[in-house]
Every structure is written in C-alpha cells, then in structure tokens.
Amino acid sequence: MKQITLPSGKQIPVLGQGTSHMGRSENTKDEVAALRRGIELGMTVIDTAELYDNEELVAEAINGQRPKVYLVTKVMPSNASKKDTLEACDRSLKKLKTDHVDLYLLHWKGSTPLSETFEAFDLLKKSGKILDFGVSNFDTTDLEKAYALDKTVAANQVLYNFEHRGIEWDLLPWCQKHQLPVMAYTPLERGEIKNHPALQKIAARHNSTVYQIALAWVLRQNNLMTIPKSSNITHVEENFKALDIKLSREDLLEIDAAFPPPKKKVALETI
Ligand code: NAP
C-alpha cells in the first residue's frame, strides 16, 4: 500500500481504520473481526481515543499483531494538563494492553496551554510510552503555534470529505509545505453521501461504490492518509479496493461542480 512519511521518517499506510462508535452495541464481535480483516489487508493504522471508550475492544482486535499495527489514541483536552496527560496515557496503555502507542494526539485544543501538554508528551516520548505525538482539530493558526513550540509534531487529524473541503484553502497547503501529515477523519461523511446523484454517476463509471469514490477522492491529496470506520468485513474489503481507483480529470471536475472547493478561508469544521 502507498505510504506517507512522518517527520520522524516512519512510514505509515495511507488507508487505516477508525473506531469511533465501536464498542457500544451488541456486535463487538463483528467490530473486532472487521478491524482484524483490515489489519490483514494492510490497513494497519488503528485510530482510537480515550473519548471513544473502546480501547479495550481495540486491544482485542490487535491482540497477537501489535508489531504490525500503528496505534493512535488521543487525550481529551480536559485531561491535557501535564499531570493528567501522563495519567491518561497510562490508563490508555492499560486498556490497550500495550506498553506504547505509536501516536498520541491532543483530541482538540482546550484551555490548558499547549506548551504544558507538549511537556507531558515529551516526557511520555522519553519514557517510550509514546513514539510520536500530534494534534487533532487544529486550524492553521493553532498549528503554526504548535509547530513553533515543537517541530516534531507528527500529524494533524482533521475532518475532510466532499462536504467539508475547507482545509484545501490554507490548512492542507500549510501541512504539505511543512511535510506535516494530515489524517483525514470522517472521509465517508458517516455514510451520508451515498445517495448523491453526481457521486453515483462517477461510481457507476468505475464499477465501484460511492464509498470507494469518497476514499479515492480524499486520497488524491499528497501527504494525507485517512481512517474510515467500518464494523463490517465486506465494507472493509470494499474500502481497501478503493486504493485501485484512479479518478479522471472529468471525475474531479464533476465532483468540484457538485461539492465546490473553498473560495476563501473557512474556519476548520469539526464533528
Ligand atoms: P466515516 O468513516 O466517514 O463513516 C463511518 C460510517 O460509514 C459507518 O456508519 C460505516 O458503517 C459506514 N461505512 C464504512 N465503509 C462503508 C462501506 N464500504 N459501505 C457502506 N458503508 C460504509 O465516519 P467516522 O467514524 O466519523 O470517521 C472515521 C474515524 O475518524 C472515526 O471512527 C474516528 O476514529 C476518527 N474521527 C476522529 C475525530 C477527531 O475529532 N479526531 C472525529 C471524528 C472521527 P459500517 O460500520 O456498517 O460499515
């Protein structure tokens, strides 16, 4: 699978797996099976968060294959003080049944000074509990501040899909210029794009599904990877096959007509 390179030099696959809303229903068996199938296919970046309250489920999914997995979890802004971040990380490690996470993100910016959270991240890095750290839901100005504090920030995880293209204006170009990887979340707009006629037309041309077109479109960007969530093995396999789709100029123009790119700065949207 195509890879992107983190500032540390570490390479990760462009297609990973999200886990939001997993662990809440009866079908945890299917969720674990879907994540395991994705890992088998090479979608080895697994994204969770203390907020999702599903780190134990993720532990079950990665059991026996930890070395293959690039594990991402997040600390909540309400736990972003130095002391609370150190404790939150220990709790996550315990739930994830691992001695380290590969990437630890601040879930979004809160009231704790970023320098204090970064101090904790630095200590966690030194102790080997995290290999890298980054941020999430940071717009350009905040990212510039984060980068000024520490140039080893490894990624910014943000909302990006057909309906939310604001990052194309300045955030994505800034990240590309500084080679700071972007992790695109909610690439399928939680499934809400499936009935769009323009997308259905393009999908039919590629003998694919609208979901696959959504992933191929997000992944046309450099320096960006994405983490669709699926609890269904068939969907995971379908998402994997999106990697084979090459969108044409005509496809991209039709998508621009249906979902116009930003014409000015749009404040970073979040969900
Ligand atoms: P998403 O990945 O855009 O969409 C997930 C939905 O799409 C699920 O309902 C899933 O249903 C469905 N789906 C997936 N593949 C499909 C396919 N091939 N065919 C039909 N339906 C399909 O939404 P998301 O979960 O919000 O975003 C992805 C991940 O990003 C999250 O899980 C989380 O890890 C991360 N995230 C991060 C933040 C942040 O603040 N940092 C915010 C939101 C999300 P099935 O399960 O039935 O397949």
Going residue by residue through the chain, which has 271 residues, state the pLDDT in tens, using 9 for 90 and above.
999 999 999 999 999 999 999 999 888 999 999 999 999 999 999 999 999 999 999 999 999 999 999 999 999 999 999 999 999 999 999 999 999 999 999 999 999 999 999 999 999 999 999 999 999 999 999 999 999 999 999 999 999 999 999 999 999 999 999 999 999 999 999 988 888 999 999 999 999 999 999 999 999 999 999 999 999 999 999 999 999 999 999 999 999 999 999 999 999 999 9
CB 108 within 8 A of CB 146: no
CB 103 within 8 A of CB 92: no
Q: What is the residue with the minimal CA distance to atom 9 of ligand 1? A: 190
109 Cβ below 6 A of ligand 1: no
227 Cβ below 6 A of ligand 1: yes
Determine the pLDDT at residue 195. 87
Which of 163, 166, 153 minimizes the C-alpha distance to 125?
A: 153
What is the C-alpha radius of gyration for the chain, rounded to an integer number of angstroms? 18
Which of 110, 81, 75, 1 minimizes the C-alpha distance to 45?
A: 1
132 in helix, strand or coil?
strand
Rounded to the nearest angstrom, the distance between the alpha carbon of 231 and the centre of ligand 1 is: 9
Which of 179, 56, 74 minimizes the C-alpha distance to 121?
A: 74
Q: Is 186 exposed, middle or buried (0-12, 13-18, 19+ CB in 10 A)?
A: buried
Numbers of helices and strands, H then E, in the chain: 10, 10
23 alpha-carbon distance from chain centroid? 18
44 Cβ below 6 A of ligand 1: no
Strand (E) or helix (H) holding 254: helix 249-258
CA gap 21, 45 in Å, rounded: 17
20 Cβ below 6 A of ligand 1: yes
217 Cβ below 6 A of ligand 1: no
Task: Name the residue type at position 98.
Answer: T
Question: Do the bridges between strand 45-47 and strand 70-75 make them parallel or antiparallel, or are there none, so unpaired?
Answer: parallel
Rounded to the nearest angstrom, the distance between the alpha carbon of 119 and the centre of ligand 1 is: 32
State pTM to two decimals: 0.98
Residue 236: C-alpha distances to residues 69, 191, 199, 229 (Å):
16, 14, 20, 8
38 Cβ below 6 A of ligand 1: no
Which of 74, 72, 80 minimizes the C-alpha distance to 119?
A: 80
